Copies of this chain bind each other. A is one copy, B any other.
């Protein structure tokens, strides 16, 4: 039977994407601000006749723009259909050892899904009592390491020393640092790429660059590692980045002023939200991301999730060990966060 040779997997479940525009969507860590003006300009001037032709398979324009922004060269840049695509390609390219790869037990919940998909053995390392990653846990023999910084869904960031310790302990493994949220307050390890040939840094345009709807992610690493990634990618799909997306990406990376402005606003709103939630008695982790992991007071996380949803406010609830008492709340606009705080007050009053 053809059924017996189907790959059996348990897919990742992304946050809900409600159809309605009348909800406050704080569940998938999207940016509350629109993409930069250049994105608008691209669409209004784009010559649709060119769509009959394939895009540049080398994605030179976008890879060059990204390289310029980070003072690297195009050979250090790999782009893909969102950072999920990029990380999937990294798993296929680098994680082929019989030894297990390592990642935290509480982290982006796609890491173990990819391991199952590509049949990569893995081992998770428990966060400590304060939900911090323990660097020394990653000193044992392994087939690779993947760690987000800041971690998700905690939002907790680690400093450069933490990652140099891990890199120094693992010269024989590829170490992927997933910096999806780094722009919102953590320190990047991009400048370690020249020093550690086994370091891959993954980034996305979906969060800090307001382009979740366009699907752009990228990896930075030494030229040899990036070449290996390209070989695997070109053995999968010659043309992953479409003509329009490439141009949108170039505009988004070039408009540094707008990027900084949005990020600053979100960081500012995050601090205010943190205060409001603490005033309500919530436990709130110190977050370097565009979301907060919070433990509500006076109501269970699951119940609060449901009540917020009933009021049209979507946040993320994970029914998992050590996370089931928490909610992950994306930072929206000031106005959205005010509405969240009002809703929380009203819900809490009703249950007291």
Q: Which residues of A contact B (CB under 8 A)?
A: 1-3, 5-7, 9-12, 14, 17, 25, 28, 30-35, 39-40, 43-44, 46, 48-57, 81-82, 84-85, 88, 92-97, 113-114, 116-117, 143-144, 171-174, 197-198, 206, 210-215, 224-225, 228, 230-245, 248
Residues in B neighbouring A211, C-beta threshold 8 A: 51-52
Q: With a CB–CB cut-off of 8 A, which chain B residues contact A238?
A: 12, 14, 84
Task: Establish whether residues B84 and A236, one from each chain, have CB atoms under 8 Å apart when the complex forms.
Answer: yes
Q: Which residues of B contact A3 (CB under 8 A)?
A: 224
* 20 contacting pairs across A/B (C-beta < 8 A): A2-B173, A7-B92, A9-B235, A10-B231, A11-B231, A11-B232, A12-B238, A14-B239, A25-B53, A28-B54, A31-B52, A34-B48, A35-B52, A43-B44, A44-B44, A52-B213, A82-B239, A92-B117, A116-B235, A213-B244
Instruction: Select one of B49, B96, B198 contacting A34, CB under 8 A.
Output: B49
Smallest CB gap from A44: residue in B: B44
Contact for A5 among B97, B234, B244, CB less than 8 A? B97
Indicate if the CB atoms of B48 and A5 lie closer than 8 Å. no
Output the residue of A92, A97, A212, A237 with the most chain B CB within 10 A: A237
Where chain A touches its partner, the secondary structure class is loop
Given A43-B244, A114-B236, 8 other A-B residues pairs in contact with their CB atoms under 8 A: A11-B233, A11-B235, A55-B215, A82-B237, A82-B239, A85-B237, A215-B239, A242-B245
Residues B84 and A239 in contact, CB atoms below 8 Å apart: yes
- A193: min CB distance to chain B, Å: 14
